[in-house]
Structure 1
Amino acid sequence: MNSVAGKTVVITGSSRGVGADTAKILAGEGANVVVNYRQKAPRANKVIKEIEEAGGKGIAVGADLTDTESVENLFKQAVDTFGSLDVLILNASGGMESDLGEDYAMRLNRDAQDAALTAALKHLSDGGRVVFVTSHQAHFIREVETMDAYVEVAKSKRAGEDQLTSRIPEMTERGVDFVVVSGDMIEGTVTATLLNRAQPGALEARREAAGKLLSVNEFATEIAKMVTADVPTGHVELAGGSGDFPADGGAAQPVG
């Protein structure tokens, strides 16, 4: 895929933050974007309004990734509105919430990602791409320690990455590429805010260790680039960070 112009891109969890900025960037490049939200319709509609005011095309579709029926509807609305599904960006994640059950992190970050891929593969076009967004703290969790408050989330996101990676042969058979984009802690995200609240000073410590943390828009720009980047399926793109994390070699390989 040399250009996203005219292509349909579904971005999960894109009513705010990194997902919203990714949607705006890709819409500015001519993509038809589907902004997915779980509960905050007004926020998602605001993103679409900004996209349309800038001359882009998009729709907002509510879907809880842990609900199979609503996920099926997400992709159906994308295809019904724009005629195709060409790119899926799996950006939604969570697990630090205290009111959604002890197993919520694994249900969302592994099981729901896997189910979303299954639903999307019914519609993804030949030559399409799936992009999984994660963090260095999750990608390298078996090799590098992270903050106590983030350990279970990190493990669940790595489990999700491993599960999706195991399905590369299936995606390849359908003509679909798979790419992972991993970022260090991102300034201004909900996760960074929650971690800093759980462990005061964590954000400043990470900023000092890394030298610089990417902004929401800078990380979104890296994700948008990987939608059309000429890389092999299974590639892992590391955005930001420092020598705290080992060299990855660019291949999404389950650890251990």
Structure 2
Amino acid sequence: MTEQGTAQAAPLAGKTAIVTGSSRGIGASTAKILAGEGAAVVINYRQKAPRANKIVAEIEAAGGRAVAVGGDLTNADDVEKLAQAAIDGFGSLDILVLNASGGMESGLGEDYALRLNRDAQVAMLKAAVQRMKPGSRVVFVTSHQAHFIDSVPTMDAYEPVARSKHAGELALRELLPWLEEKGITFVVVSGDMIEGTITATLLERAAPGAIESRREAAGKLYSVDEFAAEVAKMVTAEVPSGHTELVGGAEHFTG
């Protein structure tokens, strides 16, 4: 294979990525795609170590490099540990995919959605940036329901999560001048409800028929793998810092 062909096959060779919330769903699929493009990947999980280790094993079996690191993103020490794991394990930190989110889980406190979807995102970005070099990229994953919440109402069961994720996006965007000074670009990927995610499952439980209704309105809902491919594309896409990539079904929100 020519040198150019090798570069095309492994565009992320020599790079290290952290993907938060990557033991399952969109995060896991994104991590596997990035690993397939040559990146070493830090798989982050909150509780389910066996599930995270399975993703690592799949990546390694395919010839990639990965490590699983447990950590609750609402815990400052865990955030630092996660960011440092990229340096200790692979020597650099070049890509941060802020995929982890939540807020519909029970028993984690009334303010959990805001602590995870806003405060933890900012803390994770700041910890990562201290270890990133110019040319690095941060990708924040959100939903149309959150991105457009100020102009398009969402389902009652999802509104607290949507508002907290919107607050997270705004807080991250406030850091754009700081990121620009450091030569680090920031991109938002916004998608419709995604088939097969834990959020969709919890939403359907809280509001039966919600997913089918959204599917009919959008015409199609992306699968986990389809959406993850779009997230992974934004890691290397030539777009300006601050760009928002709208994936699927956005006409309902922008029209």
TM-score (normalised: structure 2): 0.95
The aligned residue for residue 254 of structure 1 is none
Distance 1:241 1:54 in 2: 33
Q: Kindly indicate whether residue 17 of structure 2 is the aligned counterpart of residue 17 of structure 1.
A: no
1:139 corresponds to which of 135, 144, 147: 147
Amino acid at match of 1:189: T
The aligned residue for residue 80 of structure 2 is 72
Q: Kindly indicate whether residue 120 of structure 2 is the aligned counterpart of residue 112 of structure 1.
A: yes
Deviations 1:39-59 (A, max 9, x none): 100000000000000111110
Distance 1:25 1:104 in 2: 30
The aligned residue for residue 66 of structure 2 is 58
The question of whether the paired residues in 2 share the 8 Å contact of 1:211 and 1:242 is answered with no
The aligned residue for residue 213 of structure 1 is 221
The question of whether the paired residues in 1 share the 8 Å contact of 2:144 and 2:250 is answered with no
The question of whether the paired residues in 2 share the 8 Å contact of 1:187 and 1:213 is answered with yes
The aligned residue for residue 49 of structure 2 is 41
Distance 1:243 1:235 in 2: 18
1:227 corresponds to which of 228, 235, 239: 235
The question of whether the paired residues in 1 share the 8 Å contact of 2:13 and 2:39 is answered with yes
Q: Kindly indicate whether residue 93 of structure 2 is the aligned counterpart of residue 91 of structure 1.
A: no
Deviations 1:2-49 (A, max 9, x none): 932220000000000000000001101111011000110000000000
Q: How many residues align?
A: 246
Amino acid at match of 2:85: Q
The aligned residue for residue 180 of structure 2 is 172
Amino acid at match of 1:107: R
1:30 corresponds to which of 19, 24, 38: 38
The aligned residue for residue 187 of structure 1 is 195
Give the secondary-structure state (helix, strand or coil) at the position aligned to 1:245. helix
Deviations 1:110-156 (A, max 9, x none): 00111111111110121000100000000000010100000010000
Gaps of 5+ in 1: 248-256
Distance 1:200 1:114 in 2: 33
Distance 1:60 1:126 in 2: 26
Distance 2:195 2:105 in 1: 19
Distance 1:183 1:138 in 2: 10
The aligned residue for residue 129 of structure 2 is 121
Deviation at 1:191, TM superposition (A): 0.4
Deviation at 1:200, TM superposition (A): 0.5
The question of whether the paired residues in 2 share the 8 Å contact of 1:209 and 1:242 is answered with no
Distance 1:116 1:174 in 2: 16
Give the secondary-structure state (helix, strand or coil) at the position aligned to 1:229. coil
Gaps of 5+ in 2: 1-7
TM-score (normalised: structure 1): 0.95
Amino acid at match of 2:129: L
Distance 1:47 1:94 in 2: 21
Give the secondary-structure state (helix, strand or coil) at the position aligned to 1:144. coil
The question of whether the paired residues in 2 share the 8 Å contact of 1:22 and 1:220 is answered with yes
Deviation at 1:243, TM superposition (A): 2.0
The question of whether the paired residues in 2 share the 8 Å contact of 1:95 and 1:108 is answered with yes
Distance 2:121 2:85 in 1: 19
